[in-house]
């Protein structure tokens, strides 16, 4: 045990390891976030390693004459030391990996994809032109008054997500739900006890005691810190978004901001086809803005109900539902990060002509970009459901195989017993 304590003391001196050598393009926000997160993980890993080392030492001392206990003790001590070493040396490991890689090659083409402009044709004079001018003036007033506030609102919701702990309303509602959840944990633990007691008799899924108690403890801990976990997910998303924006010059340099210039409508010379495209752009923009607003509502609702989600995760029958809910919440938070990447990629990848004016092609590409942003959440949710469906099919397949195997073994046992019954008795002559 003295050797283990000595080794642990050496590992604890690694707290002063240098932080990972991040690339020069990495923003200070993501660097600070990485360092803070690494400190939290290091403290948790150190406490867990001490616990497992004590447990392994106890098993080692009491394993006299028990080879299985001795092997388990060695495994516990080895895993604790290896895990703690990896956590403490994570900065050095990442630095070694980064130094082993060369800088990305710049031999490829840096030219963006040029999109040919679309030119509108002026119609002939007459009554038709009078009607077109009237409709154009009406649509022009709508576009001029609604474009800028809607685009500014989208940019505002896209660049940041408000923290949850700073909102007293969300905090109070979360405390109410947490109190209800903590009270319901008594009922859930009692139900789990009944499940454990009657699983073999009633045909339920059996749960081992060594898995039951840690599951209950982890669910209770997760429920009581769920708001902090949800807020940390938002902090992570904001750090990633800020890192991307700092590295790409921000959304102010994106052509989507200058694709539509409401001040140019004052001249009244905007073609009707361009105004029609602008109306379509406004409709899609309004839908996208509503999606961002509903996202904030769902994030707040998920944070408030998160204690109940952890409570449901304790029950085996609702574990899949709870895991899907957690994945859905994470996707809802990080969807803005994906949207920022898509927006900045489109701005750098596509070369739009006539940035300053209301060109038809720039508005069309803006419509395509916003339509892509609207499709992204459904695509990510499909990936989650596909992943969850694969896990469910594997679980169902395993249960079917177990049933078939059990039936075959039972049939073989009954056949042996039947053959044993029909076996004639051996007669011994006196």
Q: pLDDT higher for 18 or 429?
A: 429
Is the pLDDT reported for residue 105 higher than 70?
no
pLDDT of 109 reads 54
Q: What is the mean pLDDT of residues 29-50?
A: 84
Tell me: the pLDDT tens digits for 243-288? 888 888 777 666 665 666 655 555 555 666 777 777 788 888 889 8
Tell me: the pLDDT tens digits for 374-423? 999 988 888 887 766 555 555 555 556 655 555 555 555 555 555 555 44
For residue 230, what pLDDT band results from cuts at 50, 70 and 90?
very high
Locate 284 and state its tokens.
């899609």
The segment with the largest mean pLDDT, out of 89-93, 118-122, 165-169, 264-268, is 165-169
Q: Compute the chain's Rg from CA coordinates.
A: 32
pLDDT of 155 reads 79
- Provide the CA 105 distance to its chain's centre, in angstroms: 31
Locate 317 and state its tokens.
């029958």
pLDDT of 22 reads 42
Those residues whose C-beta lies under 8 Å from the C-beta of residue 101, and which sit 6 or more positions away, are none
3-state secondary structure the chain: CHHHHHHHHHHHHHHHCCCCCCCCCCCHHHHHHHHHHHHHHHHHHHHHHHHHHHHHHHHHHCCCCCHHHHHHHHHHHHHHHHHHHHHHCHHHHHHHHHHHCCCCCCCCCCCCEECCCCCCCCCCCCHHHHHHHHHHHHHHHHHHHHHHHHHHHHHHHHHCCCCCCCCHHHHHHHHHHHHHHHHHHHHHHHHHHHHHHHHHHHCCCCCCHHHHHHHHHHHHHHHHCHHHHHHHHHHHHHHHHHHHHHHHCCHHHCHHHHCCCHHHHHHCCCCHHHHHHHHHHHHHHHHHHHHHHHHHHHHHHHHHHHHHHHHHHHCHHHHHHHHHHHHHHHHHHHHHHHHHHHHHHHHHHEECCCCCCCCHHHHHHHHHHHHHHHHHHHHHHHHHHHHHHHHHHHHHHHHHHHHHHHHHHHHHHHHHHHHHHHCCCCCCCC
Tokens 């890993």 found at? 45
pLDDT of 227 reads 93
For residue 20, what pLDDT band results from cuts at 50, 70 and 90?
very low
Is the pLDDT reported for residue 295 higher than 80?
yes
Instruction: Quote the CA–CA distance of 182 and 194 in Å, as a whole number.
Output: 19
Long-range contacts of 165-169 (CB under 8 A, 24+ apart): 165/227, 165/228, 165/231, 167/300
Instruction: Quote the CA–CA distance of 180 and 188 in Å, as a whole number.
Output: 12
CB 200 within 8 A of CB 128: no
pLDDT of 11 reads 46
pLDDT of 12 reads 45
For residue 128, what pLDDT band results from cuts at 50, 70 and 90?
low
For residue 206, what pLDDT band results from cuts at 50, 70 and 90?
low
The domains of the chain are located at 1-97, 137-395
Q: Smallest Cα–Cα separation from 246: which of 30, 10, 3, 6?
A: 30
Average pLDDT, the chain: 74
pLDDT of 169 reads 92
For residue 134, what pLDDT band results from cuts at 50, 70 and 90?
low
Is the pLDDT reported for residue 328 higher than 60?
yes
Q: pLDDT higher for 321 or 201?
A: 321
Those residues whose C-beta lies under 8 Å from the C-beta of residue 99, and which sit 6 or more positions away, are 21
pLDDT of 3 reads 46
CB 320 within 8 A of CB 388: yes
Rounding to the nearest 10 degrees, give the CA dihedral for residues 240, 241, 246, 249: 150
Is the pLDDT reported for residue 202 higher than 90?
no
Which range is least confidently modeled, 296-305, 309-318, 343-352? 343-352
Length of the chain: 430
pLDDT of 1 reads 44
């Amino acid at each position: 045990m003295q050797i283990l304590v000595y080794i642990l003391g050496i590992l604890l001196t690694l707290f002063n390891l240098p932080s990972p050598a991040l690339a020069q393009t990495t923003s200070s926000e993501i660097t600070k976030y990485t360092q803070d997160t690494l400190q939290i993980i290091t403290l948790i890993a150190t406490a867990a390693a001490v616990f497992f080392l004590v447990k392994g030492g106890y098993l080692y001392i009491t394993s006299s004459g028990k080879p299985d206990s001795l092997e388990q003790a060695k495994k516990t001590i080895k895993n604790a030391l290896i895990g703690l070493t990896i956590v403490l040396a994570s900065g050095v490991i990442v630095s070694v990996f980064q130094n082993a890689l060369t800088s990305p090659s710049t031999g490829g083409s840096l030219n963006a994809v040029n999109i040919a402009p679309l030119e509108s044709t002026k119609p002939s004079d007459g009554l038709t032109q009078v009607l077109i001018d009237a409709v154009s003036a009406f649509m022009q007033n709508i576009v001029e008054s609604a474009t800028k506030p809607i685009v500014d609102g989208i940019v505002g919701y896209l660049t940041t997500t408000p923290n949850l702990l700073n909102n007293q309303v969300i905090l109070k509602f979360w405390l109410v739900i947490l109190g209800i959840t903590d009270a319901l944990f008594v009922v859930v633990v009692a139900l789990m006890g009944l499940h454990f007691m009657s699983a073999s008799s009633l045909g339920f899924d059996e749960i081992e005691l060594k898995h039951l108690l840690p599951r209950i403890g982890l669910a209770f801990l997760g429920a009581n810190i769920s708001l902090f976990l949800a807020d940390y997910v938002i902090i992570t998303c904001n750090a990633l978004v800020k890192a991307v924006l700092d590295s790409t010059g921000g959304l102010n340099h994106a052509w989507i901001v200058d694709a539509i210039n409401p001040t140019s409508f004052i001249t009244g010379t905007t073609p009707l086809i361009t105004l029609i495209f602008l109306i379509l752009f406004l409709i899609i923009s309004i839908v996208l803005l509503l999606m961002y607003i509903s996202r904030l509502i769902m994030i707040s609702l998920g944070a408030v109900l998160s204690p109940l989600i952890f409570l449901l995760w304790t029950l085996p029958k609702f574990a899949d539902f709870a895991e899907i809910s957690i994945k859905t919440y994470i996707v809802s938070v990080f969807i803005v990060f994906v949207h920022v990447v898509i927006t900045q990629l489109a701005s750098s990848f596509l070369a739009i002509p006539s940035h300053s004016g209301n060109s038809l092609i720039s508005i069309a590409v803006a419509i395509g970009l916003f339509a892509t942003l609207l499709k992204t959440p459904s695509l990510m949710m499909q990936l989650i459901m596909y992943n969850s469906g694969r896990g469910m099919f594997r679980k169902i397949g395993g249960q079917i195989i177990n049933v078939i195997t059990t039936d075959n073994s039972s049939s073989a046992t009954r056949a042996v017993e039947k053959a044993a019954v029909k076996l004639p008795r051996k007669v011994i002559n006196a």
